[in-house]
Chain A
Amino acid sequence: MERPHPLYLYYDIKKWLLFLLLPVFRSIFSRQDTVSVILSSLRDVTIAACLIAYSVAKWRRARYALKGGLTFEHGLIFRRFLRVTAQDAASVEIERSPLMWLTGGRRVRINTAGLRRRADATLYLPSKAALDMTVEGVACRGRRVSSRIFPTLILSASSSNAALGFLTVAPALRQTGQILGREVTGEVYGLFNRLISLGLPPLLDAAAHVLVLGWCFAFVHTFARTAGFTTERRGQQLYLLSGLITVRKNYIDCSRITTMELRQTLFMRLFGLHTVTITAAGYGREKGARPVIIPAARPRELCSALDTLMPEYPTCPATLHPTRRALIGYTLPPLILTMGSLIPLYAGGVWHMIAAVWFLAGIWWLSVRLSGYSRAGFGVSDNAVTMRYSRGLALYEIHVPRKLADCVLIIQTPWQRRSKTCTVELRCFGEKRRRHRVRALPVEQARILAQILTSH
């Protein structure tokens, strides 16, 4: 049994390092006398030193072995022994950040098919041991699909969340301002203001800048994560490589893929691009992770990429579509939202701008719903189930092997009973436990398809 890489120590200590910053902050901001500041700082440093010593002891006791799988022993107070056999590992992720590149270590996450929120095992190994763990150690090359830069840019632009980006960037700016002086935060916003002049009233201008800044941060973050995305088929495994600064390698057992999902936002629809994600035990379990296998591709590239990567994966066409009368149901909520923009328009003044933004948001949603209506469908064949639907501001198409479709629900609300339509819901295994729903399908035909689905 061997000891994990010293990076284990660094990542374990990281959470205690904030204690060491306390004396610095106290010396700058505290108005107490020097003796009490020194005494308080000594106490903080002692606590931090004790916790760091605890981490060191933990690292010295931790042991792992790679023989027919992984054996990992760690913990001091709560001692843990973990054994994952090679056959049970559904996916393996190897991460290399710049620090890991410098120190020659790798973070390895091993997932099995259980429904857990985190990886079954996370450990830090020397790069050679991490390489030996995977098939990469055995030199073999398979069929490869690489994403081009333009589709990756479009994917990053469409999936960047302004609010999320702002939540990350704003506290970071505030903290920098506190340490280096308050004018730093002002200068960043000022520079940004000079670069992007939106010509809005002051209150809206500030809000718009905050959102644009947040979106830019989210865009850079997503792009750094997905740039250089390469997917390769190696025997029964899918090998995924992605990341600009932090490089991630994923190995997924193809037999564990339960759902293939094609996702398209309206923005991506303008460029005719689709994102392909999969549901495989363990993959995409970490917070913020998305189980992508093709970040963005046009239909023709997509077909050839899927033929290369997953030729045996079953698919079928969606044969059942929503009725014509259902168009009203699909478009009514966004139409009401769009009409709501008349209220701020009537109020006048600064509300004109809010009315314009509101109207555009409503039209955007309406366009998604209309596209969703034209594409929606449900289909069952001998070996696959297909569903196409819109949810939120994106369009989805899912393909599930028939034997893995767990449950079909036909839901009928009182107003659907009058129009003889229903909502079909499909439940199958997924890390995020999402349900797939197609609205306003003819009830009798839906019932027949559900019967066919369960007849084997």
Chain B
Amino acid sequence: MHFSADKSTIKVMTVWISVFGIVLSSLISALAGLLTPWLLIISAAVGAATVFVALRYPPKYASVMKVDFDGIAVKAVTGVFIKKQLFVPMTALRTFELCSTPVQRFFGCRTVILRFAGGAVFLPLLPVKQAEELVAALEEFEESI
């Protein structure tokens, strides 16, 4: 079974990056009002960087993200700058969770958390249908054991 990100993932990431950029830019502007107007240059640079990252990063992230489940292990590839490939054998899996924030719910995304004795791994921003399919497959596998 193959799972990958779609437009909803891009939307959620764009919202988060925009919100973060706006908050940071506003804080620097407020500091500029208190200390020196030269800080407005940094504020403008942060604003420009936010627009650039919000437009470029989410599509790249979505194109890289892939999750595979073959009944033996969950394998995933994530990350744009630092690429991560993870392998979680089903025998090690203790519990799994499906969770979402209000923004994720609004755009139809879910995060799947796989928990094992040594910690947990997150498969963030999977489209709701795919996330539910993955959880159903994991559940089915657990029951078959």
On whether the beta carbons of B83 and A433 are closer than 8 Å, the reply is: no
Chain B residues within 8 Å of chain A by Cβ, number? 19
On whether the beta carbons of A455 and B72 are closer than 8 Å, the reply is: yes
Q: State the CA gap A273–B79 with chains docked (Å).
A: 41
Q: Is B91 an interface residue (CB 8 A)?
A: yes
Q: State the CA gap A417–B81 with chains docked (Å).
A: 10
Chain B's closest residue to A400 (CB) is B118
On whether the beta carbons of B84 and A433 are closer than 8 Å, the reply is: no
**A residues near B81, Cβ cutoff 8 Å:** 413-414
Give chain A interface residues in 434-456, CB to chain B under 8 Å: 447, 450-451, 453-456
Chain A residues within 8 Å of chain B by Cβ, number? 26
- B59-95 toward A: CB 8 Å interface, digit per residue (1/0)? 0000000000000110100000111111111011000
On whether the beta carbons of A451 and B87 are closer than 8 Å, the reply is: yes
Binds B, one of A167-175, A234-242, A403-411: A403-411
**A residues near B88, Cβ cutoff 8 Å:** 406-407, 454
Q: State the CA gap A258–B73 with chains docked (Å).
A: 20
On whether the beta carbons of A447 and B92 are closer than 8 Å, the reply is: no
Q: State the CA gap A451–B89 with chains docked (Å).
A: 10
Q: Is A412 an interface residue (CB 8 A)?
A: yes
Q: Is B102 an interface residue (CB 8 A)?
A: no
**B residues near A410, Cβ cutoff 8 Å:** 84-87
On whether the beta carbons of A409 and B119 are closer than 8 Å, the reply is: no
Nearest CB on B from A237, distance (A)? 22
With A451-B87, A454-B87, A456-B91 in contact, do A428 and B72 touch (Cβ < 8 Å)?
A: no
Q: State the CA gap A399–B72 with chains docked (Å).
A: 23
On whether the beta carbons of A450 and B89 are closer than 8 Å, the reply is: no
Nearest CB on A from B118, distance (A)? 4
* Inter-chain residue pair count (beta carbon < 8 A): 70
- Residue in B75, B82, B117 whose Cβ sees the most chain A Cβ within 10 Å: B117
Q: Is B116 an interface residue (CB 8 A)?
A: yes
- Residue in A410, A433, A447, A451 whose Cβ sees the most chain B Cβ within 10 Å: A410
**A residues near B84, Cβ cutoff 8 Å:** 409-412
Q: State the CA gap A453–B87 with chains docked (Å).
A: 9
With A409-B84, A417-B83, A455-B72 in contact, do A427 and B89 touch (Cβ < 8 Å)?
A: no
**A residues near B91, Cβ cutoff 8 Å:** 403, 456
Q: Is B121 an interface residue (CB 8 A)?
A: yes
Q: Is A429 an interface residue (CB 8 A)?
A: yes
Q: State the CA gap A412–B72 with chains docked (Å).
A: 24
**A residues near B121, Cβ cutoff 8 Å:** 407
Q: State the CA gap A406–B121 with chains docked (Å).
A: 10
On whether the beta carbons of A407 and B83 are closer than 8 Å, the reply is: no
With A427-B116, A427-B118, A433-B119 in contact, do A407 and B85 touch (Cβ < 8 Å)?
A: no
Give chain A interface residues in 411-432, CB to chain B under 8 Å: 411-414, 417, 427-430
Nearest CB on B from A88, distance (A)? 16
User: Which A residues contact B (CB, under 8 angstroms)?
Assistant: 258, 403-414, 417, 427-430, 433, 447, 450-451, 453-456
Give 9 nearest A-B pairs by CB, closest first: A454-B73, A429-B117, A406-B116, A406-B92, A406-B118, A427-B118, A410-B85, A412-B83, A454-B87
